[in-house]
Chain A
Amino acid sequence: QQQVKQSPQSLIVQKGGIPIINCAYENTAFDYFPWYQQFPGKGPALLIAIRPDVSEKKEGRFTISFNKSAKQFSLHIMDSQPGDSATYFCAATIYGNKLVFGAGTILRVKS
Chain B
Amino acid sequence: GAVVSQHPSWVICKSGTSVKIECRSLDFQATTMFWYRQFPKQSLMLMATSNEGSKATYEQGVEKDKFLINHASLTLSTLTVTSAHPEDSSFYICSARGTGSVQFFGPGTRLTVL
Contacts and interface: CB of A to CB of B under 8 A. Distances in A.
Interface of A: 31-32, 34, 36, 41-46, 49, 89, 93, 95-99, 101-104, 106
A93 B9 CA distance: 27
B100 interface: yes
Interface in B61-114: 91, 93, 95, 97, 100-108, 110
* B4, B95, B105, B108: residue with the most chain A Cβ atoms closer than 10 Å: B105
Nearest to A4: B43
22 contacts: A32-B102, A34-B102, A41-B91, A41-B108, A42-B107, A42-B108, A43-B93, A43-B95, A43-B106, A43-B107, A43-B108, A44-B105, A46-B103, A46-B104, A49-B101, A93-B103, A96-B103, A98-B46, A99-B34, A99-B44, A101-B43, A104-B43
Contacts, number: 58
Contact of A95 (B42, B49, B91, B101): B101
Given A43-B107, A46-B103, 5 more contacts: A41-B110, A42-B108, A43-B4, A89-B44, A96-B100
A99 B108 contact: no
A96 B97 contact: yes
Contacts of B32: 96-97
Contacts of B106: 43
> Main SS of the interface on chain B?
strand
A98 B49 contact: yes
B101 A102 contact: no
Interface of B: 4, 6, 32, 34, 41-44, 46, 49, 91, 93, 95, 97, 100-108, 110
3 interchain residue pairs of minimum CB distance: A96-B101, A43-B105, A32-B101
